[in-house]
Chain A
Amino acid sequence: MLKQIEGSRAIAETVALCRPEVICAYPITPQTHIVEALGEMVRTGELAPCAFMNVDSEFSALSVAVGASVAGARAYTATASQGLLYMAEVVYNAAGLGLPIVMTLANRAIGAPINIWNDHSDAMALRDAGWIQLFAADNQEAVDLHVQAFRIAETLSLPVMVCVDGFVLTHAVERVDLPSQAEVDAFLPAFKPVQVLDPDAPMTIGALVGPEAFTEVRYLAHRKLSSALELVPQLAAEFQERFGRGSGGLVHGYRLGDAEIVLVALGSVNGTIQDVVDAWRAAGRRVGALGICTFRPFPADAVRTALESARQVLVIDRNLAPSSGGVLATDVRAALPDQNQQVRAVIAGLGGRAITRPVLERLLEQATRGAVEPLHFLDLDRRLADGGLERIS
């Protein structure tokens, strides 16, 4: 059903349609509206049967989700920023134990300095914890990814993190087509856990593994996570067939045919990028865009194929690995062994700095002149930065 609705509310209503049995969360900006709405739905009985548990911290929130999942319940939580870091140990455990938990991450910067606004530092910090990480380009995709996430998680027995740009999407009111309960039920069958802790049939989950097998366990984790590269596009295709719209999958190419300069990005900036690409294409410029929806596992083959014609690849990284560069650019570079393809790490949109159309157009102008450095800080206030450099040198 079409609705003009806030992103957080749309996500909450969709999560409810997925019939979670245990929701446990600790509030943190900008995720709060999502769990507030779900808490309200559980309280009124609109979402039932479901237990909503209030806890003292994010560490406890994900720990409860782990306990619920291992007992056979469909479990959901949501967090952001420092909240994700606070649950980091459990994030690894959820993946290592193969628990199909779904978590919404309302992407936000990490302090210090404290900053409540959007970037992708939180998701990047936990990128190697073994979770599937999906990034939504808009609120329609945010909604659709949650439906797909539970199915992906339970098919593979792996946790899935749905990354949604904090404020930019969570607090935006837009037109969203919300699925019906019948549609979701048909796509997402009841949870059948592959392993359950049951006092009547005791077993051990998460036993100590020594040096003789730990490497093999990690190798299997690598193979298992990588297998999502086949499942994710299959389920996106099935979703499109049933729901009539394309959402999810590995990557979204946009006007890539004969494109020489391609902008690559995660999340909500892709809409602005597509507007810029249209304007440049109208002027006869050979530019295109590649949105990455599945960041973990990293779809290296899909990225390589999509970027076949590109001579220059500008990777918009809403994160910074200090002294190294951009996390996404590092992965894209590794996927493109052809030395003739220049990959530029463009550090952008940190801590809520807007990535605007004029800023992107200036970047493309620079790229046309070959003037974008391998590590480029977009829209950097030189005066402010140089003043700071003087003080620390």
Chain B
Amino acid sequence: MTTTRPFAIRIHGRGGQGVVTAAELLSVAAYHGGRYAQAFPSFGSERTGAPVVAFCRIDDRPIRSHEPITAPDVVMVQDPTLLHALNVFEGLLPNGFALVNSQRGPQALGLAPMLARLPGITLRTVPATEIARRHLGRPLPNTAMLGALAALTGATALAPLLDAIRDRFSGSVGEANAAAAAEAFAWMGSDTNRPASTVEATC
């Protein structure tokens, strides 16, 4: 019997930012990539502007458990105003990833004390709202965040993510969201962005 466990992602944002959709899109991308995935929202909290959480598990074998994710490998924060409103990094596993939607670098977000308590966490920021605004004309950061997440963690490759986005949104909306994801993917993968916006916290 194998003792591997699924790769777990927790997504924080506010109602209206496509948090639940992001988890679903990630699971569809993983599915297109030939893997098993499960996405689910934190139930009952879907109100515009209210903090919303959604989850995604990805594995190479069928996922039987339906318990909530309390110890994620990745925390993705779509709205930086949540950083100091609640403990979005609760349970984040050692050597995990934190990805925050912000134009500012991790140092400027005032997260140093938090990171000091989390060994080996890789924290990155990505200007997902600005990328989204350019492609969609609206500040909907979820697909750009997913592009950055794919580049940062390898949770999915870019091509199946773009397929998932085009499955969900037809026509020009789908293309614009795919372009936002692709730009964020390239942005995150680019070396010029890496040193300035990365904090490797160590104990």
Which chain B residues border A354 with CB–CB below 8 Å? 67-68
A308 to chain B, nearest CB (A): 24
Residue in chain A with minimal CB distance to B64:
A271
Check A172–B38 contact: CB distance below 8 A: yes
Residue in chain A with minimal CB distance to B23:
A173
Residue in chain A with minimal CB distance to B39:
A173
Within 8 A of A (CB), among B19-51: 23-24, 27-28, 31-32, 36-41, 43-44
Chain B interface size range: 20 to 34
Check B64–A275 contact: CB distance below 8 A: yes
Which chain A residues border B43 with CB–CB below 8 Å? 30, 116-117, 167, 171, 352
- Is the C-beta of B65 less than 8 angstroms from some C-beta in chain A? yes
Residue in chain A with minimal CB distance to B164:
A4
Check B38–A356 contact: CB distance below 8 A: no
Check A272–B1 contact: CB distance below 8 A: no
Which chain A residues border B3 with CB–CB below 8 Å? 279, 282
Which chain B residues border A278 with CB–CB below 8 Å? 1
- In the complex, A270 Cα to B66 Cα: how many Å? 9
Within 8 A of B (CB), among A150-185: 165, 167-169, 171-175
- Is the C-beta of A6 less than 8 angstroms from some C-beta in chain B? yes
B42 to chain A, nearest CB (A): 9
Check B65–A4 contact: CB distance below 8 A: no
Interface bits B146-174 vs A (CB < 8 Å: 1, else 0): 00000000000000000000000000000
- Is the C-beta of A79 less than 8 angstroms from some C-beta in chain B? no
Check B37–A175 contact: CB distance below 8 A: yes
Check A173–B67 contact: CB distance below 8 A: no
Contact of A173 among B28, B62, B65 (CB under 8 A): B28
Contact of A172 among B31, B32, B36, B66 (CB under 8 A): B66
- In the complex, A354 Cα to B69 Cα: how many Å? 10
- In the complex, A343 Cα to B49 Cα: how many Å? 47
Check A271–B65 contact: CB distance below 8 A: yes
- Is the C-beta of A197 less than 8 angstroms from some C-beta in chain B? no
For B41, B66, B68, the residue with the greatest tally of chain A CB atoms inside 10 Å of its CB is B66
Check A175–B31 contact: CB distance below 8 A: yes
Within 8 A of A (CB), among B46-66: 62-66
For B3, B32, B65, B70, the residue with the greatest tally of chain A CB atoms inside 10 Å of its CB is B65
Check A272–B66 contact: CB distance below 8 A: yes
Which chain B residues border A6 with CB–CB below 8 Å? 24
If the complex has contacts A173-B28, A352-B43, are A4 and B37 also in contact, measured as CB distance less than 8 A? Answer: yes
Check A275–B40 contact: CB distance below 8 A: no
Which chain A residues border B36 with CB–CB below 8 Å? 175
Check B41–A268 contact: CB distance below 8 A: no
Contact of A356 among B1, B39, B64, B70 (CB under 8 A): B70
Chain A interface residues (CB < 8 Å from chain B)? 4, 6, 29-30, 116-117, 138, 165, 167-169, 171-175, 268-272, 274-275, 278-279, 281-282, 352, 354-357
Q: Can you show 25 pairs from A to B with CB atoms below 8 A apart?
A: A4-B27, A117-B43, A117-B44, A138-B66, A167-B44, A169-B66, A172-B39, A173-B24, A173-B28, A173-B37, A174-B27, A174-B63, A175-B37, A271-B63, A271-B64, A271-B65, A272-B66, A272-B67, A274-B64, A275-B65, A281-B1, A352-B43, A354-B68, A357-B65, A357-B67
